[in-house]
Amino acid sequence: MIIRKITVEFGCAEAGRQFEGENGTKLLRERGLKMPKMMKDMFRHLCETFNQDDHKTRQLETIGFLHAGLMMVLLRLDSPAGYVCRVSRSKSFSIATNIKEFGKTLPLISLTWKAKKIVENMISLIEQTNETDEDQLQRLQDVYDITPLSPRKRKKVDLPTCLDTPTKPSKRVKEIPHDLLGPPPPFNLLPSIVSCPDPQCEGENKVTAKFCSDCGKPLME
């Protein structure tokens, strides 16, 4: 699942069918590799929407929900220093299976509400304009001016992209090029027709025949 507004993405979610424990293979892979990479890519895309402004980059963050059965964990990715991304995660919370234990579900609902507020704050941060009243007035006055305004120089932060996940080498046998194999060996086909041994008879017979169909002489002695 992708949390977005129109085309701008602010968070993601991954779900597993059942909870295999805190050290389950799927949970470790999603929590430690796949989801942080997705959140990092979303973070870089958000930075590009405001031209990688240093002030906004330090306030920006993306979120990620991780579900496994009835368990949920919230991941948050930010860059407070502007160069290295930081991933933090909440405790594991579970949905109660009995109505009498509904109180155990309240922390999960509260965590979901906080994540919603984070997304709302990030939307406001992205849509916030850096222009002052004087800049807007100047832009309106120069609406017919063909000379573009020189933007203010702001400190930018260029975050590196995520590295590609290494893939395991394929176990399939590679095909050898035909030019290295050389021409195929000759394939001798068995004769489908046997001629009569009598030179005066020109009869042609099947391989399984024992006598010539024209002269009646035996084909094999």
Map out the domains of the chain as residue ranges: 2-132, 191-221
The C-alpha atoms of residue 22 and residue 94 are separated, in whole angstroms, by: 12
Q: Look at 219 and 50; give whichever has higher pLDDT.
A: 50
Count of CA atoms in the C-beta half-sphere (13 A) of 109: 7
Q: Per residue in 105-120, pLDDT tens? A: 999 999 999 999 999 9
pLDDT above 60 for 80: yes
pLDDT above 80 for 2: yes
In DSSP notation, 16-79 reads ESS---TT-HHHHHIIIIIHHHHHHHHHHHHHHHTTTBHHHHTT-EEEEEEEETTEEEEEEEE-
pLDDT of residue 84: 86
* Band (182; pLDDT cuts 50, 70, 90): low
pTM: 0.62
Tokens 């399939």 -> residue: 172
